[in-house]
């Protein structure tokens, strides 16, 4: 995933900061935030954060999709 790709999905840059030898760019769209962290020019990781959600109805198919995405195991 690249910053260009998340921008194309409508995410907007909300913060950019430096910490130690790293630089992080944070993008936000609704309750989703995606961060890209670089060491120099090399991206070392990207992270997804789901912020507080308003309560709303959900179907079983939507719940299955979310579980498949948000609860997947990482290596």
Question: What are the boundaries of each domain within the chain?
Answer: 3-70
Distances (CA, A) of 6 to 2, 20, 25, 49, 55: 7, 25, 12, 14, 25
Determine the pLDDT at residue 47. Answer: 94
| Of 75, 12, 15, 66, nearest in space to 45 by CA | 75
Query: Using 50, 70 and 90 to split pLDDT, how confident is the model at 9?
Result: very high
- In this predicted model, what pLDDT tens digit does every residue of 32-50 receive, in sequence order? 999 999 999 999 999 999 8
Q: What percent of the chain has pLDDT over 90?
A: 71
For residues 20 and 53, which has the higher predicted lDDT (pLDDT)?
Answer: 20
Per-chain mean pLDDT for the chain: 91
């Amino acid at each position: 995933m690249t910053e260009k790709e998340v921008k194309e999905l409508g995410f907007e840059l909300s913060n950019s900061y430096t910490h130690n030898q790293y630089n992080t760019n944070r993008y936000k769209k609704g309750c989703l935030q995606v961060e890209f962290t670089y060491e120099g020019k090399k991206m070392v990781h990207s992270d997804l954060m789901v912020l507080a959600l308003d309560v709303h109805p959900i179907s079983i198919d939507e719940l299955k999709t979310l579980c498949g995405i948000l609860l997947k195991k990482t290596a």
